Structure 1
Amino acid sequence: MNDTWLFQIRISVSAELAASLRDDPTCTVHDPLHDVMRRHNASVKCQFDAFADYVSEAQRLGTEKYPLYQWTKDTIENPEKKAKYLQSFTVYVDGKEVYGKDIADLLQAELSALIGNAGIRSVIRFDTNPANNPQPPARGQ
């Protein structure tokens, strides 16, 4: 893999833990998770909230500048997808949603060790390589 790609870690959690984490991005409600976040100057943001923020910003500034506007709006308005994304959290490091391989490797390992611990269900790793990620739909589709 190209060394220029950046990475993102997401965690999936129970509905109960998700409700707490949405108001507590440093994860103080979950001691082991909070310890990982503190060690890496990290925090979490609910994917649903991030999507809702994107839609709101697009509506304020002009949806034509936001290629994923319609997809994102449709996603947050779909009850099944809303339930899924309310339980999915992106890990931000130093306030950034993507970061280098070394930190991603550490986070993935440390967070994976917490799976099954009080509501942590899974850890997923993404990269910025366009070949591995869906691209915005063409206009008019």
Structure 2
Amino acid sequence: MEPALQFQLRITASPELADALRADPACASHSTLRDVLRKHGATLKCQFDAFADYVSEAEREGTESYPLYQWTRETIENPEKKAKYLRSFTVYVDGDEVYGKNVADIMESELLQLVSEDGIQRVSRFDTNPATNPQPPRR
């Protein structure tokens, strides 16, 4: 039997909301988002910050053990990609970056209700099936 798929949600925020969320991960600037996240034991992590953390850790520990180091470093140094990833946030549930379908379904529905031009602009859903998701570069 194949293992059950796990899911991940990401939000894309307006530049203004993204700045506020990066400055205050508790989401005080967006109380309805804060309430949805609290209800599910969820937190946000800016994808740019996650990439920068990966690069810093790789440089500290030795890049040979970090297969995506070069790709990630090039990504955060590219101004267009940096702008994109500064607005993208991964939703973690109970500290996990992937979680079950039921949690993902409920949270996605609640997050989609928050979409507006000046706040959360998009909610994206990913799963752990390699056939349906772009795979990291092989270098």
- TM-score, structure 1 as length reference: 0.92
Q: Distance in 2 between matches of 1:23 and 1:138?
A: 34
SS in 2 for 1:22: helix
| Shift of residue 26, structure 1, vs aligned partner | 2.5
Residue equivalent to 1:100: 100
Uncovered stretches (5+) of structure 1, i.e. residues with no partner: none
Q: CA deviation at 1:136?
A: 3.4
> What RMSD over aligned residues (CA atoms) do the two structures have, in Å?
1.4
* Conservation of the 8 A alpha-carbon contact between 1:26 and 1:37: no
1:89 aligns with 2:109: no
Once the two structures are superposed, the pairs formed by residues 9-24 of structure 1 within 5 Å of their partners are: 9-24=9-24
- Structure 1 residue 40 corresponds to structure 2 residue 40: yes
Secondary structure class of the residue paired with 1:49:
helix
Q: TM-score, normalised by structure 2?
A: 0.93
For 2:54, the aligned partner's letter is Y
User: Counterpart of 1:75?
Assistant: 75
**Percent identity of the aligned residues?**
66
Letter in 2 for 1:55: V
Find the counterpart in structure 2 of residue 64 from structure 1: 64
**Alpha-carbon distance, 1:132 to partner:** 2.0
Larger deviation, residues 60-69 vs 43-52: 60-69
Aligned length: 138
With over 3 angstroms needed to count, the CA separation of the structure-2 counterparts of 1:3 and 1:106, relative to structure 1, is farther
Answer whether contact 1:115 1:122 (CA < 8 A) is retained: yes
**Contact 1:8 1:90 (C-alpha < 8 Å) held by counterparts:** yes
Query: In structure 2, what is the Cα distance between the partners aligned to 1:138 and 1:18?
Result: 30
